[in-house]
Amino acid sequence: MSKRQTIFDAVKVRFATATTANAYASNVGQKVFEWQLVPVDLDNLPCSLLSDPIEEALIDNKNTGAFVRQLTIDASLLLAEVNQTAAKARAALADVITAIGTDPRWGGLALRTLPVSEELKLDDEGERISGVRLVFKIEYPREAWEA
């Protein structure tokens, strides 16, 4: 299994902890979907949608050829219809930020995790907050042609 897959799997597991049963304010972790390309059924809300669209290689040491990879994680936190308010969206966002912050090195897989952007999302009609989009990068070491 590639390091990228191992890290992505760790992200999915961590997001799944964001439930009220684990003392979080929301249940956006009760269902975590990877690369969800079709609309989510209402009975699957709340949920988290995760993807890893981009990985960039940064030269860490020109003498050794060591690289640091920056894996971009795009997370959409979708709220249940009864909870589609800005306050509930901010609570869900706080939950996943807290979950990520419990170990931003992902059990030693990564060097660090960097926040990129946070955005409250409107429903299709633009009338209410339907969720949150959070983008972050996970930096980890990987050789040039190592999987």
Q: Write the pLDDT tens digit of every residue in 31-72.
A: 999 999 888 999 999 999 999 999 999 876 666 667 899 999
* Cα–Cα distance list, 130 to 78, 93, 123, 146 (Å): 6, 12, 5, 39
110-147: per-residue pLDDT in tens? 999 999 999 999 877 766 778 999 999 999 998 777 77
Cα separation of 44 and 133, whole Å? 17
pTM over 0.85: yes
- Which neighbouring-strand residues pair with 33? 49
Q: Which residue shows structure tokens 């050794």?
A: 64
**pLDDT number for residue 21:** 97
Ranges of each domain in the chain: 3-51+73-135
CA 10/CA 60 separation, integer angstroms? 24
Confidence (pLDDT) at 92: 97
Please provide residue 95's backbone torsions phi and psi, each rounded to the nearest 5 degrees: -60, -50
Whole-number pLDDT of residue 63 = 67
Helices (H), 16-103: 86-101
Question: Domain 3-51+73-135: which topology?
Answer: Alpha-Beta Plaits (3.30.70)
Give the integer Cα–Cα distance in Å for 144 and 20: 41
